[in-house]
Amino acid sequence: MSSTNDRPTGRPRTIDPDAVSLVALRLFDEQGFDAVSMDDVAAAAGISRRSLFRLFPSKAALVWGGLDEFATRFTDALRARPADEPSATALRAAYRVGASFPEETIEVTRHRLRVIRTNPSLQRGGDATITSLTDAIVRFVAERDGGTVDDLAVIVRASTLAAATNAALTWWASGGAGRPADAVDRAIDLLG
């Protein structure tokens, strides 16, 4: 017969969302996104299904979790650039800051980018953030270079930069050498 003394005392165990995300991303990367269920993730992470859904409402949320941190680092760095600095210099510096992932997130970032790359259906999950970032770049370039947000040259330049940096990060995640910020620098250099 069980008594109330058998229950654990103190605070309930807290669940580290980053650790759960890493477990999920490893599974997705090794077994394929579609082959892994939320039940599989919960079991591998040692948490209940209910706790998993409380942290991550969907499988896609397990993958896209880090994009917001990148976007915040990038946009904060862009806003902090000197007003008289050329747009190209400011954007390069902001992308370096955005792609300077904290050391403890390097592995999860690498898995995240590989999973997104190999699962095109996931790309829709980040569309809103990616569109918002591209729009911020368009506005920044227009303001710095004296153009307008509907100027074709401004839009093409901003979109090309966003695509090149995304390609560089995907390349890095797939086994490219060095740090993510270095890959971004190389991609920007290739744009000439």
Structure tokens at 127: 């569309």
> pTM of the predicted model, to two decimals?
0.82
Q: What is the pLDDT, as a whole number, of residue 13?
A: 62
Give me the average pLDDT of each 10-residue run along the chain (192 residues): 48 76 94 94 94 91 83 93 93 94 89 89 76 91 93 93 92 90 94 86
Structure confidence at residue 41 (pLDDT): 96
Q: What local confidence, expressed as pLDDT, does residue 7 receive?
A: 46
**Alpha-carbon Rg of the chain, whole angstroms?**
20
pLDDT of residue 121: 77
